[in-house]
Structure 1
Amino acid sequence: MASNIDAARAKIAEQVKIDILSKDPVKDNELKCKEIGRTFISDTITVPTKEMYQYAVLSTLGDDVYHEPSTAALEAHLAQLLGKEAALFVASGTASNQIALRSHLKQPPHSVLCDHRAHIYKYEAGGVGFHSQAAVTPVIPANGHHLTLSDVEANTIISSDVHFAPTEVIALENTLNGTIIPQDEVIAISDFAHSNNIKMHLDGARLWHVAAETGVSLKELSDPFDSVSVCFSKGLGAPIGSCLVGSKELIKKARWFRKLFGGGMRQTGVLAGCAAYALSHNFPLLPRVHELTRKLETGLEKIGAEITSRAETCMVFYDPSPIGVDYGEIADRASLLPEPLFLGGSRLVVHIQTTEQAIDDFLSLVAQLAEEKKKAGFVPQPVEKKTGRYHDVYVRRPPKQA
């Protein structure tokens, strides 16, 4: 009988086995790193370095649902850094935003006011309505760049009329599509919100870029808000993770909702270690990112493309139609280079692992396409200064013509 069980166990053990590694994982990962250095699609594609992993594997081995020392140390540091009482480590920026809003919002009917381009509205799968039973008031900034106090006042619902869902949270995003909200405007909106008992939430996934570009401390940038979400895998190059900061009461509730949403994690020390390494070693790399983004902007303008959203931090949006080229042509030709470039449409994102050679190769390619169009008879169009241009982050390429 025992021998039969042993044989069955051995058979199951063989069925369970799996080897996920390629034949030459070191070479494949080196090739992937090279590809990442030439990818302009997003900054989420950055990868951990060997040094980051070496640091991270020394982290503690606790269970974060109970207590994980390295993760707790990271949370305490983030709370202090952003000037709040407490913090909570979560798997993603979407989780951080949605848990924050759910923790603020008590009983419907209620609504959240945000920019119509905001991540919480456009790219979080309708989570505000699903998780918090909240309506969203998406507002188009009159200045085409950022929400102002005037925009917010005109769209905030402060009423006990049964026809409306009162505004309970105003959510700002900084940066938004790479652009920075002026801090004096943030403060004005916050003062208005708090004078009307409305909570303020900041989607600060790329707040690191604001601090690096302006020199304003992360605490000062966070002070106007009741909750702030910051991301470690965008910009800073950690493999996973975000932190939500706020009052002790808010974070206690948020920890509960994290568990309810299935986001309670176990041995998170290695993830906290990666985030800690990113904060210490990768934040200083951001000014170079901004310089490379401005180089992209300047180069595209010289070629004759239209810049539709300027390089304030790590993104620039452009329109190549004035030189007779479309995004699909650029992407197709970029994919055929000896060392391909990877593109996603109107948005170009630079990150800490972008190479300067990739910038040069991209500009050279666009210039070459512009010259080919000119020789074929296309007359370059003058670029008009436009305001109020809005962009979809994820531009779909047109289908190839048969």
Structure 2
Amino acid sequence: MPAEKKGTTTNIYGEVDQIIKERLSQFNPDDIVDFRSDTVSKPTKEMIAAMYTYPVGDDGYGEDPTVNLLEQTVAELAGKEAAMFVASGIMSNQLALRSHLQAPPHSVLCDARSHIFNLECGGVAIHAGALMTPVRPSKGRTYITVPDIEEALVHTSIYSAPTKLIALENTLDGEILPIEVIQEIHEFAKSKDLPLHLDGARLWNASRETGIPIKEYAKYFDSVSLCFSKGLGAPIGSVLTGSAEFINRARQWRKIFGGAWRQAGHLAGACLYALQNHFPNLNKDHAAAKILGQRLEEMGYKLIKRVDTNMVWVEDSEALISLNEMAKEVASYGIKISGSSRFVIHLGNRDHVDRLTNAMQEIIEKRKNGGVINAI
């Protein structure tokens, strides 16, 4: 993930400065459109109405019928024996890592740009006493391959924390990891007797774009985490899938983490609704992202990653207005952008690409004409 420029006041994580807050405060919150991330997607009115129709019980006893239905549905979707509903993608990943790893010394090999390495607070060190081995793709590639992994593999010795798990992410920065590469990594991991975990928070997007079923991707992994609160628009929740033995172990770790549910059926219902009603429409996000990418290029911003799914990554070295400055200016139009490199399309903004690009174009034209963009 691109590093932040020194002195910027907004970034990929969506932190905003006081100027932006003041400008956005002039708008009704419901009228603000947010392009920072798909994590900001909100439940639709239809989803909220549907949530209350689902029955609930005590999931601590395994008696919430809607949670059970969600877990069974996702397990079948992923071709796994079992599944477990948890509060977040980070919890799902961390439970997976902890459940795979037995006793130190050990390490997890992953892509250097991955979420588990950059954005989970070093959780695997805290929860499992494990090191992480970040791997970068070979020059000219946008994803890691078997040679990259083989070169970085930590072997057993009296001095080392040997690799005991390989973790991949798909999509990563919106780019799709080809299934042929996944298969090759699977074969390599199998030859080394190493389990393979997938952070599939946005595997939904990869599946919709390629037409490859979730099950086809998942069959190469020992565990898969699938998130419902990003592009699918649920208010909360991820599902971890794997063998029955693995999920039973993960359930105990979930209890230790303090993550057990009680009457979680309404939340699980939102995820079931998302599967039926939002998953099929992810292609609309991808189409909107491609349009946004084209328009940003026309405005002088340079694409730095492929627009495979719902993310657009650009840099502003040759643009008239920096992205950091543009974040402040579009706030006057009731629009949030990260001020960094990333724009993300989701069900809450896919129909507002014109609003964003028209605002940006107007701001650029004012600058070209020497006008004051905003007095605040």
- Report the secondary structure of 2:61's partner residue: coil
CA distance, structure 2, for counterparts of residue 240 and residue 183 of structure 1: 28
Could you say which residue in structure 1 is the equivalent of 2:149?
152
Could you say which residue in structure 2 is the equivalent of 1:394?
none
Find 2:120's aligned residue among 99, 124, 131.
Answer: 124
Could you say which residue in structure 2 is the equivalent of 1:290?
286
Are the counterparts in 1 of residues 109 and 153 from structure 2 also a CA contact under 8 Å? Answer: yes
1:360 is aligned to 2:354: yes
Q: Note the 1:133-212 alignment, pairs <5 A.
A: 133-142=129-138, 143-157=140-154, 159-212=155-208
CA distance, structure 1, for counterparts of residue 76 and residue 28 of structure 2: 39
CA distance, structure 1, for counterparts of residue 336 and residue 319 of structure 2: 21
Q: TM-score, normalised by structure 1?
A: 0.82
- Report the secondary structure of 2:93's partner residue: helix
CA displacement, residues 378-401 of structure 1 (integer Å, 9 cap, x when unaligned)? xxxxxxxxxxxxxxxxxxxxxxxx
Aligned residues: CA RMSD:
1.7
Find 1:307's aligned residue among 296, 303, 307.
Answer: 303
Q: Note the 1:195-274 alignment, pairs <5 A.
A: 195-274=191-270
Find 2:31's aligned residue among 20, 25, 34.
Answer: 34
1:53 is aligned to 2:48: yes
CA distance, structure 2, for counterparts of residue 226 and residue 239 of structure 1: 27
- The farther-off stretch of 294-303 and 236-245 is 294-303
Q: Supply the AA of the counterpart residue of 1:106.
A: Q
Find 2:60's aligned residue among 44, 57, 65.
Answer: 65
- Report the secondary structure of 1:366's partner residue: helix
1:317 is aligned to 2:313: yes
1:355 Cα offset (Å): 4.3
Aligned length: 343
Q: Which structure has the larger Rg?
A: 1
CA distance, structure 2, for counterparts of residue 98 and residue 172 of structure 1: 13
Q: Supply the AA of the counterpart residue of 2:158.
A: V
Q: Note the 1:305-384 alignment, pairs <5 A.
A: 305-337=301-333, 340-344=334-338, 345-356=340-351, 358-374=352-368
Structure 1 residues 149 and 207, CA, compared in 2 at 3 Å: closer, same or farther? same
Q: TM-score, normalised by structure 2?
A: 0.88
What is the identity percentage for the equivalent residue pairs of Structure 1 and Structure 2?
44
- Report the secondary structure of 1:321's partner residue: coil
Q: Supply the AA of the counterpart residue of 2:188.
A: F
Are the counterparts in 2 of residues 323 and 370 from structure 1 also a CA contact under 8 Å? Answer: no
1:111 Cα offset (Å): 0.5
Q: Supply the AA of the counterpart residue of 2:49.
A: Q
1:371 Cα offset (Å): 4.1
1:48 Cα offset (Å): 1.4
Structure 1 residues 364 and 55, CA, compared in 2 at 3 Å: closer, same or farther? closer
Are the counterparts in 2 of residues 297 and 310 from structure 1 also a CA contact under 8 Å? Answer: no
**Relative contact order, CA 8 A, sep 6+: which one is greater?**
2
CA displacement, residues 260-292 of structure 1 (integer Å, 9 cap, x when unaligned)? 000011101101110000000001111110000
Could you say which residue in structure 2 is the equivalent of 1:20?
none
- Report the secondary structure of 2:198's partner residue: strand
The gaps in structure 2 that reach 5 residues or longer are: 1-24, 371-375
- Report the secondary structure of 2:190's partner residue: helix
- Report the secondary structure of 1:243's partner residue: strand
- Report the secondary structure of 1:61's partner residue: coil
CA distance, structure 2, for counterparts of residue 332 and residue 109 of structure 1: 47
Q: Supply the AA of the counterpart residue of 2:342.
A: R
1:252 Cα offset (Å): 0.3
Could you say which residue in structure 2 is the equivalent of 1:19?
none
Structure 1 residues 288 and 309, CA, compared in 2 at 3 Å: closer, same or farther? same
Could you say which residue in structure 1 is the equivalent of 2:7?
none
Could you say which residue in structure 2 is the equivalent of 1:397?
none
1:43 Cα offset (Å): 0.8
Q: Supply the AA of the counterpart residue of 2:222.
A: D
Are the counterparts in 2 of residues 323 and 373 from structure 1 also a CA contact under 8 Å? Answer: no
CA distance, structure 2, for counterparts of residue 130 and residue 341 of structure 1: 38
- Report the secondary structure of 1:323's partner residue: coil
CA distance, structure 2, for counterparts of residue 314 and residue 34 of structure 1: 22
CA distance, structure 2, for counterparts of residue 91 and residue 312 of structure 1: 28
1:316 Cα offset (Å): 0.6
CA distance, structure 1, for counterparts of residue 31 and residue 203 of structure 2: 27
Find 2:84's aligned residue among 81, 85, 88.
Answer: 88
CA distance, structure 2, for counterparts of residue 33 and residue 292 of structure 1: 21
